[in-house]
Amino acid sequence: MNNNIVNLVIVGGGTAGWMSAAALGKFLGNKKYNITLIESELIGTVGVGEATVPHIRFFNETLGINENEFMQKTNATYKLGIEFSNWAKKGDAYIHPFGIYGKTINDVSFHHYWLKAKMMGNQFPIGDYALGVVAAAAEKFNYPNNDANSLSSKYSYAFHFDASLYAVFLREYSEARGVKRKEGKVVQVQQHPDSGFVQSLTLESGEVIVGDLFVDCSGFRGLLIEQTLNTGYEDWSHWLPCDRAIAVPSEKTSVPLPYTKAIARDAGWQWRIPLQSRTGNGQVYCSHYTSDDAVAENLLENLDGKPLANLNHIRFQTGRRKKSWNKNCVAIGLSSGFLEPLESTSIYLIQMAITKLIEYFPRADFDTVTADEFNRDITMEYERVRDFLILHYSATSRDDTEFWRYVKNMPIPKSLQYKIDLFRHQGHVEQYKRGMFLDPSWVAVYFGQNIFPQHYHPAVNKLSDDELRHQLNAIRQQISMLAEKMPSHEQAIKQYCHQGANSPSSWPPAAMNLYEVFS
């Protein structure tokens, strides 16, 4: 008796659907599997996610996608990090880079040495010791090299791109590998009368699509995972109270910056994402503390150029499904959960779920042990990202609006409080091998929002004060010189994103874990 999955059905297109189709088509696309994606042109997608993290490079590389072709076809620019303005207090700004600070000395993380130097009177911010930060601020870009001893290898990069064009790009890729697309709207879901498993879907045309495994990429509505299987949702809006967003593209008015902007506003924050031919803009906000009209007016007033479309109003509830894998249905993307795009995590969470699905790919008996492990991993990822996002809000001294007073004083998860207490005592970042944000990311936000440890690591004192000053000055000066020699971001795009451009041989390989390249 054959106990293997044969028919895979993906419900929904967009970024989540076509990323799923591309990966499944690449790794399972053969005569043993039939992969079908159902989408309707009448059902819109959210499509506001145009900023990514470096993990997307691993995804594209694994699929064998040429980076320059991808950038050409998705209107992409390079991204070295995210600039946060007005988060600690009005007028403050810092960049969260894709890379580490300085270098490890005597097996102790660099931020401990910087902390002692700060206590000794060093006035240079920690960002001056990160090549990603210095290059971003100077509007420069170059590819990191693969010499582990060089400071030029201690940063990474991601992309800003048009998510709708990325979906089109991956559709072509997927269909070339045997994925079949069905145009149509699902009007009925048939379940097994005993097990409750999803058996088939009926389209508006009357066509019936039978499946063994169903991947729900239907967005916030969760057609299968929630509307059919009633999985349940864990609400996190008491920690992440923003519940709406307004998005609009605008005309390009200057050369694109190599970083995303996240600008804190009175009841939320505004994003600004530079693409090659336009700028992506939007505001995320809490409707309890402001009105849609006020946010729309503020957003339009703060555009760099003329709006290119009508305002796109989006409503959401932060949180996650109680299970992302329920029976024979796996939810990926917005159907699995939503964490606001403050750190560009949405596409990463899609990628991670796809990777886990392939890793735990089931047999037709759908044993609960596999599903439970998948759900455990997804829960861990969502909770760690959740804590990191909450940190941005709770670590503020702002009390100028009702919204900021609320997030400043709200109770936070015990898991986050533990992380903060650990760091405040002696600069330790909670260690874990899996998870999106590791030491440098937490340090960036802690220091950027004025959370400083009471003590540094005792091993720092192995260096004399003069040796410490010398080491830090040498690192800062070297980073400054390296950034100065880089081409401008605009020059890099012109050089590497034209037809027929070649990838530099010095590129380090991408890593699923961003900091694998720095270890």
Contact present, 314 and 337 (Cβ < 8 Å): no
pLDDT at 518: 34
Q: Is the pLDDT of residue 506 over 60?
A: no
So what's the architecture of 7-74+162-237+322-384 in CATH? 3-Layer(bba) Sandwich (3.50)
Q: Is the pLDDT of residue 434 over 70?
A: no
CA–CA dist 198, 212 (Å, integer): 8
- Give the range among 28-37, 160-169, 506-515 with minimum mean pLDDT: 506-515
Contact present, 330 and 214 (Cβ < 8 Å): yes
Q: Which residues does residue 140 pair with via DSSP β-bridges, in sequence order?
A: 488
Question: Can you tell me the mean pLDDT for 36-49?
Answer: 70
Contact present, 303 and 270 (Cβ < 8 Å): no
Q: Where are the domains of the chain?
A: 7-74+162-237+322-384, 98-155+390-487, 244-315
Q: Three-class SS string for 191-257?
A: ECCCCCCEEEEEECCCCEEECCEEEECCHHHCCCCCCCCCCCEEECCCCCCCCEEEEEEEECCCCCC
Q: Is 118 a catalytic residue?
A: no
User: Of all residues in the chain, what percent carry a pLDDT higher than 90?
Assistant: 88
Contact present, 163 and 15 (Cβ < 8 Å): yes
Q: Is the pLDDT of residue 75 over 70?
A: yes
pLDDT at 40: 87
Question: Can you tell me the mean pLDDT for 184-194?
Answer: 96
Q: Is the pLDDT of residue 141 over 50?
A: yes
Q: Each residue of 357-395: pLDDT tens digit?
A: 999 999 999 989 999 999 999 999 999 999 999 999 999
Q: Which two tokens stand for residue 376?
A: 């455990």
Give the distance between the most distant pair of CA atoms in the chain: 79
Confidence of residue 502 (pLDDT cuts 50, 70, 90): low
Confidence of residue 514 (pLDDT cuts 50, 70, 90): very low
Confidence of residue 515 (pLDDT cuts 50, 70, 90): very low
Q: Each residue of 227-258: pLDDT tens digit?
A: 999 999 999 999 999 999 999 999 999 999 99
pLDDT at 504: 52
pLDDT at 512: 44
Q: Is the pLDDT of residue 499 over 80?
A: no
What are the strands of the beta sheet with 81-85, ordered from one edge?
93-97, 81-85, 260-265, 268-274, 278-285, 244-251, 312-315
Of 79, 323, 356, 419, which is the active-site residue? 79
Question: Can you tell me the mean pLDDT for 425-452?
Answer: 89
CA–CA dist 20, 10 (Å, integer): 8
Q: Is the pLDDT of residue 490 over 70?
A: yes
pLDDT at 224: 98
Q: Is 13 helix (H, G, I), strand (E, B) or coil?
A: coil
